[in-house]
Amino acid sequence: MNSRQLLATLALALCCAPAFAAWNIASLMGELARNPGGRAVFTEKKYIALLDRPVVSSGEMRYVAPDFLEKRTLAPKPEYMLLDKDQITVERGKHKFTLRLAEQPEILAFVASIRGTLSGDRAALERNYALHLAGTRDNWTLNLSPSNPRIAELVTRITIGGKRDQVFSVEYLQADGDRAVMTIAPVPGQ
């Protein structure tokens, strides 16, 4: 290889290096922020210390950026959850309750972990969590560790996995050792 070829190869490598090095939390949040939302199906497994096997539920979800999330659990028992701006509504059987998130700071912080990730709102996440990103654009994992002591009493860690602007898994490790793992798959054509 002559010096001209070496120089051209080096220039090409230097030009491309920032593109490879640019995958970071800011890049991930930018991609997530551009996702307008869509429909998905989910399966959730809750591992509870008092039970021999996980409690499994499944259903459908719909997200509309930046602050609308609807979750319909279809099995084993119907349940409906609606997160719309600063209000959360849950229906189980004949019971229905609605909370304003501003009045429930711990619930707000928990909700912010999902909504902040889906909407790419880094500032909302960093209000209550330390963020650590691992992996590549096509296979990333975002770990949220509570920086707020009141949240740390409830949740030890939240791990979110995905590809590009899509979230495919969410795992919650509770302070009491119980955990929940949700896998998410987009509805084809959405």
Return d(Cα 19, Cα 21) in angstroms, integer. 6
Q: How many CB atoms lie within 10 A of CB 142?
A: 24
- Strands, DSSP E only, in the chain? 37-47, 55-64, 68-75, 79-84, 87-92, 95-100, 129-136, 139-146, 155-163, 166-174, 179-186
| Confidence at residue 76, expressed as pLDDT on a 0 to 100 scale | 96
Q: How many domains does the chain divide into?
A: 1
User: What's the pLDDT at 30?
Assistant: 96
Residue 79 lies in a domain: yes
Output the pLDDT for position 9: 47
10 domain residue, yes or no:
no
Give a yes or no: residue 46 inside a domain. Answer: yes
Q: What is the mean pLDDT of each run of 10 residues along the chain (190 residues)?
A: 48 47 90 95 96 97 94 97 94 94 81 91 94 97 94 93 96 94 88
Give, in degrees to the nearest 5, the angle at Cα 180 between 174 and 183: 145
Angle between helices 25-33 and 105-119 (to 10 degrees): 80
Q: Which domain holds residue 86?
A: 23-186
In a domain, 3, yes or no: no
The pTM is what?
0.84
First to last CA, the chain: 50
pLDDT of amino acid 190:
61
Q: Note whether residue 28 is domain-resident.
A: yes
In a domain, 6, yes or no: no
Q: What is the per-residue pLDDT for 8?
A: 43
| Within-domain flag for 50 | yes
Q: What is the CATH number of the domain that holds 30?
A: 2.50.20.10
Q: Is residue 7 part of a domain?
A: no
